């Protein structure tokens, strides 16, 4: 019994450490994506500022519809994680669509038809960062679950090792 319990403790600890590693990798990806996105945005601002157009809050609508949603599934415990990212399909954007749905469509169209390549790179970098943030959040939930099971098994082992009086 003690050997079986020790093996379960080791298994949970290995799973916990794998979750910690997944979290650290996802956090590094979020950091890299945000750095790349902000750098590309500053380049786009510089380019667009020279032509009399600027990248600012004044160029997008007050009400914006999200292009991605994050859901939390409490029943999932597999490798996919408990947080799921659902991408909204990109709506075709025309001038008529913009008047009917001011917050919909491709956000890059809010800044004109011919936007700098750096603005497109910014959009891709932040989308990649969002995906990594979802993976990091799922890894945190997995870490907590594995650590709680580890502590419960460790307490069980300590209770079994105490002399019975």
Buried b (16+ CB within 10 A) or exposed e, 81-117: bbbebeeeeeeebeeeeeeeeeebbebeebbeeebbe
| Residue 54, pLDDT score | 63
| Structural domain boundaries, residue 7 | 2-161
CATH code of the domain covering residue 64:
1.10.287
Contact 42, 119 (CB under 8 A): no
- 57-112 tens-digit pLDDT: 676 777 777 888 888 877 765 555 688 888 876 544 444 444 444 556 777 877 77
Domain count, the chain: 1
- 121-159 tens-digit pLDDT: 999 999 999 999 999 999 999 999 999 999 999 999 998
């Amino acid at each position: 019994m003690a050997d079986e319990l020790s093996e379960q403790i080791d298994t949970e600890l290995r799973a916990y450490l794998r979750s910690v590693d997944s979290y650290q990798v996802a956090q590094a990806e979020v950091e890299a994506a945000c750095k790349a996105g902000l750098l590309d945005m500053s380049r786009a601002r510089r380019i667009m500022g020279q032509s009399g157009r600027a990248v600012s809050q004044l160029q997008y609508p007050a009400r914006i519809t999200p292009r991605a949603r994050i859901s939390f599934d409490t029943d999932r415990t597999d490798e996919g994680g408990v947080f799921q990212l659902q991408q909204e399909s990109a709506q075709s954007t025309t001038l008529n669509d913009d008047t009917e749905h001011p917050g919909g469509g491709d956000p890059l169209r809010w800044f004109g038809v011919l936007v700098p390549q750096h603005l497109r790179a910014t959009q891709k970098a932040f989308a990649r960062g969002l995906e990594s943030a979802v993976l990091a959040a799922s890894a945190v939930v997995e870490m907590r679950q594995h650590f709680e099971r580890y502590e419960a098994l460790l307490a069980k082992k300590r209770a079994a090792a105490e002399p019975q009086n």
